[in-house]
Structure 1
Amino acid sequence: MRVLHVAQPTVAGVHSYVLGAAVNQLGRGWDVRVACPSDGLLGRDVAAAGVPHAVWEAGRSPGLSVPREVHSLGRLVAEIAPDVLHLHSAKAGLAGRLAVRGAVPTLYQPHGWSWLAADGLQARAALLWERSATRWSACVVACGEGEAAQGRAAGVPGPITVVRNGVDLGRFRPAGPAGRRDARRALGLPHAAPIAVCPGRLTRQKGQDVLLAAWGAVRERVPDARLVLVGGGDDAQIGAAANGTPGVERFGPTAEISRFYAAADVVVLPSRWEGLSLSAIEALAAGRSLVASDVPGLTELVPHAVGALVAANAPGELAEAVADRLLDPGLAGREGLAAAEWARGFDITRTWAGLAELTGRTARVNARRAP
């Protein structure tokens, strides 16, 4: 079976997911290809893993480049002739479904609904598009129950199938006191300071601006606290705020994110929206207390015993929850133990098995319909 994965984002969560899915399917003996832009990490990493990479240049936002992106992706699909076309995130979902229009069995995986990233007329247009374009999708793949419920509530017609995100539990595992000490030494972080880690690209979606607004209140209660932001991103305003906030350190994108979880006392995810956060699952599997926004894609990951949920865009609530855990290592430690146990239900092998079953079923249904 030949599968073509298409993605415009080449870093962060989509990068990890597409790379993992492609490598897993290659290991099943499938003919797997990945189409994505030439910049970023995804093309390099899939090629290094033995997965053929086709260059598809595309910008993140819709604009005047869309007709060219649709045309070039249509040409790629015609050349590769996949049995299943798997489109990841909004831009691939737009260009791919316009290019193919259901002629090839198509799985669309939003990794966070497109209308959540927009405002006003743009958000309304994105929602209308998602409702309409479903007719060119054999199935919409949701990363979690919250994302599926959001789509149904917004009127996106079915079928929407949940293939829940997971992580490699061998890579992300609890680190005890010695692991924390070693990680801090390797990262150049102070051994004794209370440390909160916030992973993710610097974007409005991830809500680092809310955390930075809360950080002064955290430091009033915990004067020696450090906030570590880990990730790239192009939001200059958030970057400037981070650089000007006392007690904040920034690190760029890294393949060693597990080391940052090991160094943390608490992990903070103040996102405004998510599909099903891989960073949250990683932090839980690493045995770290988690403070997160009460939004779909995070709510279902944070039962009371493993951390705290706070309202999105609420710096006061966020500051209180983070400071409580930095001041009380016993609380954070108990939540971390519960988190590691809870995360056992998010093994990546279950994710890849579910995705393979759905992909195979999609190809078989099309084969039965063919003349």
Structure 2
Amino acid sequence: MRIAPHILHVAQPVEGGVARVVTDLAAAQLAAGLRVTVACPRGGTLAYDLRELGCRVLRWDAARAPGHRLPAEVRRLAWLVREVRPDLVHAHSAKAGLAARLALRGGMPTVYQPHAWSFEAAHGVMKQLALGWERFGARWATRVLCVSQAERRTGHRSGIWARWQVVPNGVDTDRFRPEGDVAPSGTGPLVVCVGRLCRQKGQDVLLRAWPEVARQVAGARLVLVGDGPDAKRLRALAPAAVEFAGATADTATWYRPADVVVLPSRWEGMALAPLEAMACGRPVVVTDVNGARESLPADHPPVCLVPPEDPAALARALLELLRDEPLRTALGAQGRAHVLRAHDLRQATEAVTDVYRELLGLGTAQFAGPDEGRKCITT
């Protein structure tokens, strides 16, 4: 009798979209009969959610950014790999990808998933160091798994030579649906932004855009859902009428009452929040960063996609949607249908498992055609 493959996920960070993806993958893989272990630091939501699933979680103390502790973090991870003896390691995000590839150095099948490139978040010398490492470290990844074609193109254009595979992000369309509980949200037009309060997500750009929206739309309200390192700074920037709802375990309750959901990111691979909002039948406005165009229906109007770092364009887009209820209704219905077709979580998790099967030689991987929701494209 063949023993089920053993997958070791290595994750840092342990909250936000990365934690959601790791938890969703672990749940699907356990249900499919795979053996799954996750190595991650304490804190955040990841370890708790995984243990609720019955998944084995090992403590791997690692800071979010590289630093003087990196050699010890690599040694600890190498020891965990020897103890776990997995068949395949799947490393999530830049820090885990750095440590895992240094620990393994191609010694076993290794999947590296950037979840947005680290060098897009850095400047100056740090940007060059991050880019240099991604170019060098690609040799130790059996596959570099991107969540959008745009993320893959950015890596390729930046001189990262890798065996690429693309699996677009998916969301749970049973959990994120139009029907269900809603957060207490008062009266008046409501704009909601869900995301970690940090530079990447661009809430400061939204706060600069908001006074113009509030001036032209009577009673308009903005709610920022989430927590993060920039919370204090953003509160200081925010007009009095902006509400900070904090982190919540059920973001769907905030998507549902929203007239518009906005995510003004500076960089992404493919953000989950717009997919979740569309699954809840809500119209979205996003910045034109990696994955944004691919996450929207092909015939979405231009108003839904704005340049990053442009408060005036963001304000114009929000005003146009807030003033046009029929358009919002149509976009909500279109977005829900699009996510059901192209970004359902089951499609995404099955596609990742197909990558494992291919790398472990467990049969021919099944790849969907270009018009299907499950996309794995190898170059």
TM-score range, shorter chain: over 0.9
**Equivalenced residues, count:** 355
Is 1:273 aligned with 2:241? no
**1:173 alignment partner AA:** R
The answer as to whether partners of 2:141 and 2:162 remain within 8 angstroms in 1 is no
Structure 1 residues 296 and 280, CA gap change in structure 2 (3 angstroms) = same
Give how far 1:236 is off: 4.4
- 2:91 corresponding residue in structure 1: 87
How many percent identity over aligned positions?
A: 43
In 2: Cα distance, 1:363 partner to 1:74 partner:
20
Is 1:156 aligned with 2:160? yes
In 2: Cα distance, 1:53 partner to 1:353 partner:
22
**1:336 alignment partner AA:** G
CA RMSD after TM alignment:
1.4
In 2: Cα distance, 1:298 partner to 1:60 partner:
25
In 2: Cα distance, 1:119 partner to 1:138 partner:
28
Where does the alignment leave 5 or more consecutive residues of structure 2 unmatched? 363-379
Stretch moving more, 45-54 or 146-155: 146-155
In 2: Cα distance, 1:189 partner to 1:337 partner:
22
Which of 331, 337, 340 aligns to 1:335? It is 331
Tell me which protein shows more helix as a share of its residues: 1
Give how far 1:305 is off: 2.7
Which of 7, 12, 26 aligns to 1:8? It is 12
**1:342 alignment partner AA:** H
Please state whether the residue corresponding to 2:223 is helix, strand or coil. Answer: strand
Give how far 1:262 is off: 0.3
Give how far 1:9 is off: 1.0
In 1: Cα distance, 2:97 partner to 2:233 partner:
28
The answer as to whether partners of 2:192 and 2:223 remain within 8 angstroms in 1 is yes
Q: List per-residue Cα deviations over 1:200-219 (Å, max 9, x = no partner).
A: 00011000000001010111
- 2:293 corresponding residue in structure 1: 299
In 2: Cα distance, 1:144 partner to 1:164 partner:
5
The answer as to whether partners of 1:134 and 1:140 remain within 8 angstroms in 2 is yes
**1:26 alignment partner AA:** L
Is 1:230 aligned with 2:234? no
Is 1:100 aligned with 2:110? no
1:5-44 equivalences in 2 (<5 Å): 5-44=9-48
Q: List per-residue Cα deviations over 1:271-294 (Å, max 9, x = no partner).
A: 011111111111111111111101
In 2: Cα distance, 1:300 partner to 1:247 partner:
33
Which of 242, 245, 248 aligns to 1:254? It is 248
Stretch moving more, 250-259 or 131-140: 250-259
**1:318 alignment partner AA:** L
**2:280 alignment partner AA:** A
In 1: Cα distance, 2:268 partner to 2:148 partner:
10
- 1:50 corresponding residue in structure 2: 54
- 2:361 corresponding residue in structure 1: 364
The answer as to whether partners of 2:288 and 2:306 remain within 8 angstroms in 1 is yes
Give how far 1:364 is off: 2.2
TM-score by length of 1: 0.93
Give how far 1:166 is off: 0.7
Structure 1 residues 236 and 229, CA gap change in structure 2 (3 angstroms) = closer
Give how far 1:339 is off: 1.1
Please state whether the residue corresponding to 2:361 is helix, strand or coil. Answer: helix
Is 1:214 aligned with 2:209? yes
Give how far 1:169 is off: 1.2
Give how far 1:150 is off: 1.0
